[in-house]
Structures are given as C-alpha cells and as structure tokens.
Amino acid sequence: MLTYLLRRLGLLGIMLAGLVLITFLVSNVAPSDPAALAAGPDATRDMIATIRHEYGLDQPLPQQFLRYAVDLARLRLGRSIQTGDEVSDDLARYFPATLELVLLSMAISIVVGVPLGMLAAVRRNRPFDHIVRVLAVSGVALPAFWAALLLQLLFCVRLGWLPTSGQLSVATPPPPPVTGMVMVDALLLGQGAVFVEAWQYAMLPAFVLALPSLAAIVRVNRAEMIEVLASDYVTAARAHGISTVRVIGWLALKNAMLPTLAMIGLRFGWTLGSTVLVETVFDWPGIGLYAVNSAIASDFKPVMGVTLLIGSTFMLTNLLIDLAYGWLDPRTRTA
C-alpha cells in the first residue's frame, strides 16, 4: 500500500507541475494588456509603465514564470489588479461558498442517484427503468446555464417559491464565520432561521449543479448493478435462501459501488469547475463568479489562482478516490 501511495503522489506532483506551467502560459499569451486596463482609459504611458513594473509584467517570460513558481511554493498567488488584494485572501473568502454549493449538490447526486440506479437495474427494461434512463440522458445533455435559467424562471419568477439569486437576503446578516459556509455556520451557532433562509437560496443552484453528476451516477450504478446481479455469487446467495433485500441492498450494491465511487470522485472535480456558469446565473458569491469577473477585467492572477485551486482540488480528490479504491480492491494496487 505504501508503494502504491508513493507512486500516486509522484504522479500527482507531475500533474500539478504541468497544470502550473499550462496555466501560466495560457494567461500570458492573451492579447490584452492588464496593466493598461488597471490604469484606466485616461492613464498616461508612464502610469501604465509604473503598474506594469509593479506587477512584474515588464520582465521576460521565463523570469516571470520563475518568480511565479517561487511565489507558489510560498503559497502566494500574486495580487489582483482589480481588487488590489492578495489572490489567496480572495480565494479564502470566496471558496467556502463554492465548496458549500458543491458539497450540497454532490449530496443530492449521491442520495438520489445511487438508489435510482439500483432500482432501475432491479426493474430492468420496465417502465420505471425507461423513465430513469431518459432522465439520466437529459441530465447529461441539458446545458447547465439553460437549465438554470428555465428553473429560475419557473420557481423564482412564476411560482415565487424560491429566491432568484444570492446567498442570503440583504436584510439578513450572515452568521459569524466559523467555516465560511453559511449553512454550516448557522447550524453550529444555532441560528435556525438563517439556516432555513440559506437553504432556500442554495436549493436551486445546488440542484442545477447536481444534474450532470446525478445522471452520471445513475448510469454507472445501474450498469454495474445489472452486471453484479447476473454474477454467480449473487445467484448462489439467492439459492441459499438469503432474502432479496439483503442480496440487492448489501451484497450486490457493495460490489457495484466500486466503479460508482470512482465516478463520484470524478464528478466532484467536474462539479467544482462547473460552478462558473451556475454561480454567474444565480449571482452566487463563490470562486466561479470571482473568476468570471476577473476574466472580464483581464485580471489574470485571480483566474490563474482559481484554475490552480480547482485543478489541485480535482487531483487531490482523485488521489483519495484511488486510495479508497486500492483499499477496497487490492488488485488495483498492482494494475
């Protein structure tokens, strides 16, 4: 297990180095001049040159990359031209809201997706199975921003059941930060009314964000359950008189959850990256909206910081899933 862990950690380091290099190169080939945009339309050449020198934009590209790599090793992501704050401070302020939304959406995907996939496999080629398969395909095919706008129009504008955008109403002060996640902090501090209001604001964006993950989990779990239910050991268990509920709910589902676990890890990373569209539509104060506003202003340091944060989180999640997979199925350690 230790050799397997070291091998995975080495691969993680190589991928992180590649992510840093690609992110830096992409951000530095953009045609716009961030120093000129930061100085404003009425700025003189001397003012633009001063800002360019202050942010190190007048240095050769290899020297900029070396400086950027050294700053990353010190956990410094640079300073935002738009806000003037350290990017790491901005990410620490915005990331908890995104993490709260992603965790809620993944909880919806797992709690709903796994039972639906299991039941669809048990009722294979029956009406329930066909309905679940149609819903799964629809969840993958629907663009997130389009589904968000439609659901926003229905539940927020027409029916008035849910708020349109934001994380809390303007009249409600957020709870004192403990974790940075509003719902968690409200629970920890016993602010039930704030928790309910935050839940209402988060319900719709979390559901929209959960649709692709829900569809993927349903499809993978259904396929694996069908394969496991046709295996010899399930047939032998039924022949020995073990109840159907125990065979399906414990024996079959336990073995079918291995590929589903890998899919959950992949979807967590994809969901984290998909927050850019959902947070923009719902005006959710997370790193997705922060990245969009920074990209519009050609403020590349925050965009690079968000990309690195999402990419590294994606890789760390996959590492944890690989370790869990290797622990549950030792054969994968030597594959």
**C-beta of residue 155 within 8 angstroms of C-beta of residue 161:** yes
Domains of the chain plus CATH, in order, are 34-76 (no CATH), 90-334 (1.10.3720.10)
Side chain identity at residue 80, one-letter code:
S
231: enclosing H helix or E strand: none
**C-beta of residue 135 within 8 angstroms of C-beta of residue 165:** no
Q: Is 171 exposed, middle or buried (0-12, 13-18, 19+ CB in 10 A)?
A: exposed
pLDDT in tens, 73-111: 777 777 787 777 788 888 888 899 999 999 999 999 999
What CA–CA distance (Å, rounded) separates 191 from 176? 11
What CA–CA distance (Å, rounded) separates 13 from 1? 18
**C-beta of residue 260 within 8 angstroms of C-beta of residue 114:** yes
Tokens coding 280: 């923009």
Give 79's strand partners. Answer: 86
Helix, strand or coil, per DSSP, at residue 79? strand
CA 278 centroid distance within chain: 11
pLDDT tens, residue order, the chain (335 aa): 667 677 777 777 788 888 888 877 776 666 566 666 666 666 677 777 777 776 666 677 777 788 778 877 777 777 787 777 788 888 888 899 999 999 999 999 999 988 888 888 888 888 888 888 888 888 777 787 788 888 888 888 888 888 888 888 888 888 888 888 888 888 888 888 889 988 989 999 999 888 888 888 888 888 888 888 887 777 787 777 777 777 777 777 777 777 788 788 778 878 887 888 888 888 888 888 888 888 777 777 888 888 888 888 888 877 777 777 666 666 655 65
pLDDT, residue 104, reads 92
Q: Is 143 exposed, middle or buried (0-12, 13-18, 19+ CB in 10 A)?
A: exposed
Q: To the nearest whole number, what is the mean pLDDT of the chain?
A: 81
Q: What is the CA radius of gyration of the chain?
A: 24
**C-beta of residue 194 within 8 angstroms of C-beta of residue 178:** no
What angle, 0 to 180 degrees and rounded to 10, lies between the N-to-C axes of helices 192-229 and 253-282? 140
